[in-house]
A = this chain, B = another copy of it.
Amino acid sequence: MDMITSIHNESIVETRKLKQKKHREASGLFLAEGLRLCEVAAAVDAVEQAYYHEALADTDRGAALLRELSGRTRRFVKVSARVMQAMAETEAPQGILCVCKCRQVSLKDFQPDKEGLVLLADGIQDPGNLGAMLRILWAGEGRGLICLRGTTDPFGGKCVRASMGGIFHVPVINGVDWPGVARWAIVNGYEVIAAESGAGRDYRRINWPKKTLLCIGNEAQGLITIPAAEVKERVYIPVKEGAESLNAAVAAGILVFEANR
């Protein structure tokens, strides 16, 4: 099979553009790199194109992934080590990079078939935090992630990697505004719970609704766009006096698993 050795090859150039949000939005595609992520992507049939380095076949796991991808991928392309390095965002790429479909859901179509918790991110800036939230929602059976406009792009490389595959399993509603979400919550029977630092009620003392819309705000400023009057209950995790509040992803983990009790 032919191997692409030039980073100026048209499909390589086009694929690398997906590192930028505007190209992801225009195409509805995003990048997943590394064995674990590409395995998850293949398992849910989200892969459109796969680029690999031949050394991937040297391990059983890599060879199995290549077989899996070769059968079900529109483009399946061998590239040189230099091209792989140029396409990848990690320093030591594992030799596999997939172009995947963004499976975004519109608010209108977002109708979880089970009760449970939906997380809303209001201005989260760190893609590592947002990705950790996707990982938490996958593990903790959250029903979806709503990202208000102003939140970092959930399909960005760092977020995708931090999600450890959660991006392929958790329904994502991206770039929406609060008023529409507020209407969605009313129509679908979700109660709005806002995580705050030091305000409201101790998270262990509330009755978590069967349908919870849990809102987590910006790392430094907290909730940015959600009016206080539209929040049913504010909850906090008590921390030692004088200490910094918890990291947004850690707080999300504690609250999601508390709601699951």
Contact = CB atoms under 8 A, between A and B. Distances in A.
Given A169-B243, A243-B169, A244-B164, A136 B204 contact: no
A170 B251 CA distance: 19
A245 B139 contact: yes
Copies of the chain in the assembly: 2
Listed residue (A135, A166, A243, A253) with the most chain B CB atoms within 10 angstroms of its CB = A243
A132 B250 CA distance: 8
Interface in A186-244: 204, 237, 239-240, 243-244
A166 B257 CA distance: 24
A115 B13 CA distance: 59
Interface residues of A, number: 31
A261 interface: yes
B139 A243 contact: yes
Nearest to A128: B128
A95 interface: no
Nearest to A170: B243
Contacts of A139: 237, 239-240, 243-246
A253 B141 CA distance: 18
A240 B136 contact: no
Contact of A254 (B36, B132, B257): B257
A140 interface: yes
A247 interface: yes
A257 B240 contact: no
Contacts of A250: 132, 135-136, 249-250, 252-253
Interface in A130-149: 132, 135-136, 138-141
A165 interface: yes
Contacts of A252: 250
20 contacts: A36-B244, A128-B128, A135-B246, A135-B247, A135-B250, A136-B246, A138-B240, A138-B243, A139-B239, A139-B243, A139-B244, A140-B240, A141-B240, A166-B243, A166-B244, A204-B261, A247-B249, A249-B249, A250-B252, A253-B254
